[in-house]
Structure 1
């Protein structure tokens, strides 16, 4: 949800949707950032670019979902080289 009116631009927040799914994905990413070098590097790169921590985590969650969807589509296992793209 964005808070904008005219020239005013407020903070955007996540609201609505599936709270349980969002919570599970968030916690999965917190664990993945500690053990997976791909997600850890992505998170650090976003922080160095000046992104807030929660924004960086959610961006990594989206990257994880895209990778998992492509793995299901192709019927493949985790490949670190695939995840670097």
Structure 2
């Protein structure tokens, strides 16, 4: 059953064997259990968070780096690869850059989107459909 889930995750361009196994192990994805994507994104530390203290309320939101650093690390290189081979994620990345976002901010957004896609695939038990 796990090999089937790895095959489903590999249907996302940019995710290979090692990343698929890492995602499955870090998400504790059990068969038949639905995974809450918002909770897992926060757990991975990919959720934006507003840092403020006292009068300094005008700071930029940054990712909350608390949480599972292994999952963040596992998604970095696949996100870089997806920029080249996954047209939807590449479009998303370039759209963020055209809005004035920094390259790293846009890359983290791609990592977050890849995790959302992976969780959706695992919950629906269906491969990634580019359409």
TM range (shorter): 0.7 to 0.9
**Structure with greater helix percent:** 1
Match for 1:50 among 96, 100, 109?
A: 100
- How many residue pairs match? The answer is 81
Match for 1:9 among 54, 58, 62?
A: 58
Q: 1:16 to 1:7 in 2, by over 3 A?
A: closer
Q: For the aligned residues, what is the CA RMSD?
A: 1.9
Q: 1:26 to 1:4 in 2, by over 3 A?
A: farther
Once residues 56 and 41 of structure 1 are traced to their aligned partners in structure 2, the CA distance between those partners, rounded to angstroms, is 11
Q: CA deviation at 1:38?
A: 0.8
Q: CA deviation at 1:9?
A: 3.2
Q: CA deviation at 1:8?
A: 5.3
Structure 1 length as normaliser, TM-score?
Answer: 0.79
Once residues 67 and 13 of structure 1 are traced to their aligned partners in structure 2, the CA distance between those partners, rounded to angstroms, is 19
Once residues 52 and 84 of structure 2 are traced to their aligned partners in structure 1, the CA distance between those partners, rounded to angstroms, is 33
Q: Which runs of 4+ in 1 moved over 4 A?
A: none
1:3-82 aligned at under 5 Å gives the runs 3-7=52-56, 9-11=58-60, 12=62, 14-81=64-131
If asked which structure has higher relative contact order (CA below 8 Å, sep 6+), I would say 2
Please give the secondary structure, in 2, of the residue aligned with 1:25: helix
Contact 1:39 1:60 in 2 (8 A): yes
